[in-house]
Structure 1
């Protein structure tokens, strides 16, 4: 059954041809702005990894990766869910120093994703990771990095509106920082998603911190977060108010990554201590990987937000259920 919501009176903001030009403009401009803001260099990245490497992102632990055998190599590969762990290993192999980082185009298949206006089984994002010092593992450094990313987003949006004068998306550079526990304390009767909508309605650009550990009232996490890459005490999501959909809109999941102590705690908390024997985890727990901060920034999500489309299928090619296709056709919305 389709979960699509089409706002009353909605019309696609650009022609099909102009839409492609705008998407190209956003992607080429933003990656330059991001690289300059965080001192990142572009690298090549894998579409798939060995299933026994421990490098794939386990997401919430229930999603099934797309896997296939490689007869000539003698192994089974998994299409990545994200490059959260691979990037940290790459920083070590490519000999990046403190204060320098990498970014890459990450393309993934998440076949168990529940598709709607903002979710697709095809994921495209800028995955980035940066080497930091032990002294940088602080909330202050995290906030500084968030502000730099939001600045790069807003600069790209400003340039887009000069190149495409018919577009008028307004983005707020001022970031409001709040924890998931503070939201639960304020709105204990709302769902996590309702809390996000409520806070973004008040403060249009929000960084929602500390995602993954259990909240005090409900005893459940605000949202799922794998236990072996983000430090749950030093992570968060960048949310912006989407005026077209009239709701909060996640553009990035990010955070300071686990060190040895936080990984042990989080693996135990989620009952995943057996992962300690995987190659990536053994390197981290023995102190052989650099301390890092990193995240993913949705490419199609940014295009949706800046161009002002109501459905992610207007800015990326994917697969949709028949009800969604029929509803979009009826509304004059072209799904790529």
Structure 2
């Protein structure tokens, strides 16, 4: 048995292959339409790759290797498959002259070869990346929570639309999403690991927005890693650091654990960028194209995030493995074990 593969006891898909493909379309159409309307976002076309060394690619935790390749007609300059579009979207807000209160969204497709393959992780990543211009007065936790609540309402509406078409998919989302800071979560569950703390709080509330991810907590460690140059996770408050970012986590009864569907946050301004680059020991990045433009005041203040498409479908359709939603690469052993336990990988 593969150590990182979870097999739900007695698992059987609630939808067959044809129903699953149709339901995926229903979810994606309903959710992106609702998200666009709720947050006032217009759709734009996104790149699959960017040039290496520009600082535009998302560095995630700073350790993941991007897929790179030489471009012959550019003198073999290296290009990188995007990890996400966290920084690129902010540049687009500038190029399109998007006013505060409005924004953009796009389909983001990526390859992350360093992912450990399991029920929820694939080397292929598909998500809705979105970004919205904001005013300086919006750079606070109250505004962040307002946007999270708006996204959560879209999730609930999408869940109901799907339920009307497939009554066997009984709605699970609670009426409200619970907010908690990662330091508060640590104090509640001091003897648990970060992932175990997420499991505990999500099982209790069903839907959670966990804030303050990236900066060190009172135990000297961050709850989880975050790149220093897009989310503002080190904003100062009267009682210390209070990050303006977080993850939307849902309790997944099939996998019996917390299930992340979105990472988002208010983006760094010039002050937060320099502070976080210093904390992470990478002030050299300030000379990259993206960082220079941000420090020069070229970009609007913004909020944004990514919402996993396959992840969202997996949750709503009660699937045990992301490979039931998307076509990717899996080991022969994983395919065999899944097949033996009624988990049909695409």
With normalisation by structure 1, the TM-score equals 0.98
Q: Is residue 212–residue 225 contact of structure 1 (8 Å, CA) maintained in 2?
A: yes
TM-fit CA distance, 1:2: 4.9
1:214 to 213, 216, 232: 216
In structure 1, the residue matched to 2:279 is 269
In structure 2, the residue matched to 1:131 is 133
Deviations 1:195-231 (A, max 9, x none): 00000111111000000001112x1110000000000
In structure 1, the residue matched to 2:4 is 3
2:66 & 2:171 partners in 1: Cα distance?
Answer: 35
TM-fit CA distance, 1:320: 1.0
Q: Is residue 320–residue 343 contact of structure 2 (8 Å, CA) maintained in 1?
A: no
SS at 2:336 equivalent? helix
Give 5+ residue unaligned stretches, structure 1. none
Deviations 1:267-315 (A, max 9, x none): 0000010000001000111111110000000000110110100100000
SS at 1:4 equivalent? coil
TM-fit CA distance, 1:175: 1.2
What is the number of equivalent residue pairs in this alignment? 335
Q: Is residue 44–residue 106 contact of structure 2 (8 Å, CA) maintained in 1?
A: yes
Q: Is residue 173–residue 205 contact of structure 1 (8 Å, CA) maintained in 2?
A: no
SS at 2:196 equivalent? helix
In structure 1, the residue matched to 2:43 is 42
Q: Is residue 34–residue 152 contact of structure 1 (8 Å, CA) maintained in 2?
A: yes
1:102 & 1:46 partners in 2: Cα distance?
Answer: 14
1:13 & 1:156 partners in 2: Cα distance?
Answer: 18
TM-fit CA distance, 1:57: 0.5
5 Å matches for 1:131-280? 131-217=133-219, 219-232=220-233, 233-280=243-290
Q: Is residue 160–residue 171 contact of structure 2 (8 Å, CA) maintained in 1?
A: no
1:242 & 1:331 partners in 2: Cα distance?
Answer: 19
Q: Is residue 266–residue 303 contact of structure 2 (8 Å, CA) maintained in 1?
A: yes
Q: Is residue 201–residue 208 contact of structure 2 (8 Å, CA) maintained in 1?
A: yes
With normalisation by structure 2, the TM-score equals 0.95
2:169 & 2:203 partners in 1: Cα distance?
Answer: 21
1:330 & 1:266 partners in 2: Cα distance?
Answer: 47
TM-fit CA distance, 1:73: 2.5
In structure 1, the residue matched to 2:240 is none
1:249 & 1:37 partners in 2: Cα distance?
Answer: 23
Deviations 1:39-68 (A, max 9, x none): 000000000001021100011111100000
In structure 2, the residue matched to 1:121 is 123
SS at 1:308 equivalent? coil
1:49 & 1:42 partners in 2: Cα distance?
Answer: 20
2:173 & 2:186 partners in 1: Cα distance?
Answer: 26
In structure 1, the residue matched to 2:13 is 12
2:39 & 2:338 partners in 1: Cα distance?
Answer: 39
Does residue 67 of structure 2 align to residue 66 of structure 1? Answer: yes
